[in-house]
Amino acid sequence: MPSKVLIEICAGSVESAIAASKGGAHRIELCSALSEGGLTPSQAMIEYVKANLKIETFVLIRPRAGDFSYSRAEYEVMKSDIFSAKVKGAEGIVIGMINTDGTVDTCRMKEILEMASPMQVTFHRAFDITRNPFEALETIIELGCKRILTSGQASSALLGAALIAELVQQAGSRIIIIPGSGINESNLEELHAVASASEYHLSASAPVKSRMFFRKPEIAMGNGLTDEFLMMQTDPDKVSAICKIASGLKLSVKQQA
């Protein structure tokens, strides 16, 4: 278990990964399409990050938006993405699969863990839609995952703090519970006071205006509901600020054991 509180940044672009590294984050979860909850990044993005940044990198394995019950074809794509992440030098993957009844898909997850080794495996927020979080926790521990990313089955980690605290207590030193969703420099201390986790997951993002000065606002590349000349991107100053806050947070004796 860690001896200090660690900050993991969800980096949805190569620029966000660079910013996370500059800001002093301890790890990144590399992904794409954060507006969709995060999808698998390209092989080129993984390769660039591992070649140019000295930061522990976990790669999100999620082939599409939506639920976490995957077809056979989607599962084959996920396995290929895991192999690619390993080849590119990623230290870990972030993945989650559940059955249609809301239980953890142990059959496929066992195969994933074998394939991913020696990379670490984080079971992501698919956990938040499991039927029974306490049973799911024990199942995921038995599988051999190193971490669980969760909002405490709520719309934000702060709202789910009570459940997160229970999960941290139940997990003990067997697995790391990482709160994620809606965490920032203004609420980390409040969340930690309840959850007492050893790691936290956030994007530390801020809006960045496009460099384009010539624009055709009547043409939309997406659904037209968002401003395509305004991007959310990790801010190195925000990362630095939250890492500074994290450095002042205390871990319980049990967490440091």
CATH of the domain at 247: 3.20.20.380
In the predicted model, what is the mean pLDDT of residues 146-165?
A: 98
Do the domain assignments include residue 28?
Answer: yes
18: in domain: yes
Spatial neighbors of 68 by CB under 8 A, at least 6 apart, are: 96, 97, 98, 126, 129
Task: Tell me which residue range forms the domain holding 57.
Answer: 6-256
- Which residue is it, tokens 């910013």? 19
Task: Establish if 222 belongs to a structural domain.
Answer: yes
Would 1 be classed as within a structural domain?
A: no
Q: What is the pTM of this model?
A: 0.93
- Whether pLDDT at 17 is above 90: yes
Q: Which of 184, 65, 83, 174 is nearest to 125 (CA)?
A: 65
Indicate whether 206 belongs to any domain.
yes
149: pLDDT strictly greater than 70: yes
Is there a domain that residue 242 lies in? yes
Residues 218-255 have pLDDT tens digits of 777 766 667 777 788 999 999 999 999 999 999 875 55
Specify burial of residue 54 (Cβ count, 10 A radius: 0-12, 13-18, 19+): exposed
Q: For the chain, how many structural domains are there in total?
A: 1
Kindly state the average pLDDT of the residues 114-120: 98
Do the domain assignments include residue 215?
yes
- Mean of pLDDT values over 39-59: 98
Question: Given this model, what pLDDT does residue 227 score?
Answer: 75
In a domain, 223, yes or no: yes
